[in-house]
Structures are given as structure tokens and as C-alpha cells.
Amino acid sequence: MALMQGDSLTGNNFGLQIDGVMVEYLAEVNGLTIEQDVIKHVQNNSATGKLETAVMPGNKKDGQCTVVRGMTQSASFTQWINDSINGRMASARKNASIILMDAEDTPVKRYNMRNAWCSKIDASSLKAGDTAALTETVTIVFEEMEVE
């Protein structure tokens, strides 16, 4: 069942696509932000002689987000991380999307990141005798993001 008018998404099901292929379901996503410069233009209104300020959109800014995933054997995501960390940028720069899904796994919202690559990986603490799931936190940088 798709979302009904007035319903909001819940944060229980989301994943990462790289070049259109779902490669990983994620435990957490932080920092999905779109930002751009703001240009202020102040001028004198010739009819009244008063100052007027116009606010206009400027350049879009690049960005970054972090994703937390369970330590899995996802070969394509691991390869993407390795290409990025080892400076193989021709294969590391990918178009990636964070996809939010409803309760029936139907994609409802997408955050599309252009020329994304991994700049940092942080493995969870390893502790003898611990029964917690192991995770990796990956920082993804991108040149541009679009929401659809």
C-alpha cells in the first residue's frame, strides 16, 4: 500500500544505489544537505529613494553525508570504498542515491548524488565476547545533490 494523503514516511527502510543498482541497505544516514550561496543585491529605488534588497540564489555547494552499514560482504560497495581510498577516481566517482521506501519496499523519495565517492571509513569497535553487530561508517562526498 502506497502512502495515503497526509501520511509521512517512517525511517525504517532505506538503501543505497550506485549507478542505478541497489548495493546496500543501511542502518543509518546522516547529513543529507543541499546548500547554495545567497546573493544579496542592494539598490536604490529611484521612485521612492529607499534602499531595496533582493535576495537571489547563488552557486550550489558540494556536500557530504555519512552512512552506517552492517559489515557485510557487499562486493560492489567494498570495491567503491577501495577505489575511492586508493585514489582510483575514474572508477570511484559514481552517481549514487539514498532511496527511502514505504512499508512495502516501494521507493518513495530519492536523494541523488552526482560524482559521489567515499572519503572516509570508520569500523565499529571490536571487543572480544561482544555480541553486537559490527558496522562501518562511511563518509560520502558529492558534487551535487538533487531530491526527487
| Cα 54 from Cα 41, distance rounded (Å) | 5
- Whether 48 maps to a domain, the answer reads no
Confidence of residue 76 (pLDDT cuts 50, 70, 90): confident
Tell me whether residue 97 is in a domain.
yes
Domains of the chain: total: 1
28-46, pLDDT tens digit by residue?
A: 999 988 899 999 999 988 7
Note whether residue 138 is domain-resident: yes
pLDDT at 2: 63
This prediction's pTM:
0.83
CATH of the domain at 71: 2.30.110.20
Tell me the three cell numbers of residue 134.
Answer: 559490527
Parallel, antiparallel, or unpaired: how do β-strands 14-18 and 21-25 relate? antiparallel
Question: Which domain does 19 fall in, by range?
Answer: 14-35+61-147
- The Cα-based distances of 139 to 4, 57, 96, 118 in angstroms read 34, 27, 13, 6
